[in-house]
Amino acid sequence: MSTCFYYLNENNDLILIGKRQGAGPFCEKCGMSLASSNDKLFGTNAIHYSNTKWLNKCPICFKKSDDLPSVCSFTFSISPELLMLMFENNFKIFDEYHIEYSSNEFREILTECKIKFYHGQGE
Backbone angles phi, psi at 117, to 5 degrees: -120, 140
SS (H, E, C) 12-51: CCEEEEEEEEEEEEEECCCCEECEEECCCEEHHHHCCCCC
Q: State the pLDDT confidence band at 37, using cuts at 50, 70 and 90.
A: confident
Q: By C-alpha distance, which of 115, 123, 121 is closest to 31? A: 115
Model confidence, pTM: 0.85
pLDDT digits (tens, 9 = 90+) for 59-83: 999 999 999 999 999 999 999 898 9
Cβ-count burial of 86 within 10 angstroms (0-12 exposed, 13-18 middle, 19+ buried)? buried
Average of per-residue pLDDT across 91-109: 94
Backbone angles phi, psi at 43, to 5 degrees: 60, -145
